[in-house]
Amino acid sequence: MFNSGVTFDDVAHAIQLSLAPVFLLTAIGGILNVMAGRLARIIDRGRRLTDAPDGDGTWPAELMVELGSLERRRHLASSAITACTSAALLTCLVIVSLFLEVLLELRLKWLIGGLFMVATVALVIGLSYFLREVHLATRTVRIPIQRVPPPQEQATGSTVQTRS
């Protein structure tokens, strides 16, 4: 099955070549962890909002708007996870192909290059979906800020000026 002409140096070279894709896999794993955490928070928020409808079984219009936004964000996060998982699987195929090329002395350079390019494109697509989800989250969530006067203003009702 394995070619007897394969030397230890050939296998060592295959391991060296596979290090970059392995580091890429580690990075994709970290990215997937972040994406899965965001998806879980989106789902939890949606469940929390839908647990208690009004007394008549309906939801207010602002709640429906937020639920629509959460659904769009859920779809984007899920698409990002799918694309990045595809990138990870393609990267695994790159690593396998590198070893098959050495161990079976096959000419797989075009296949390896093609797989790596497709993996990179899938990663770019996944990160683009993720960026879109983050942008949508920051655009739809508004935190109201109210100016609270300092304690001196509250007590006297007037402003106190200090010397510089």
Domain map of the chain by residue range?
A: 8-52+60-141
**Residue 4 Cα to chain centre, angstroms:** 44
Find, among 118, 84, 113, the residue nearest to 97 by Cα: 113
State the pTM of this model: 0.75
Residues 6+ apart with CB under 8 A from 70: 42, 45, 46, 49
* Per-residue model confidence (pLDDT) at position 23: 92
pLDDT tens string 49-58: 888 666 666 6
Residues of the chain with confidence (pLDDT) below 70: 1-4, 52-59, 141-143, 153-164
Give yes or no for a contact between 67 and 1, defined as CB atoms under 8 angstroms apart.
Answer: no
d(CA 46, CA 58): 15
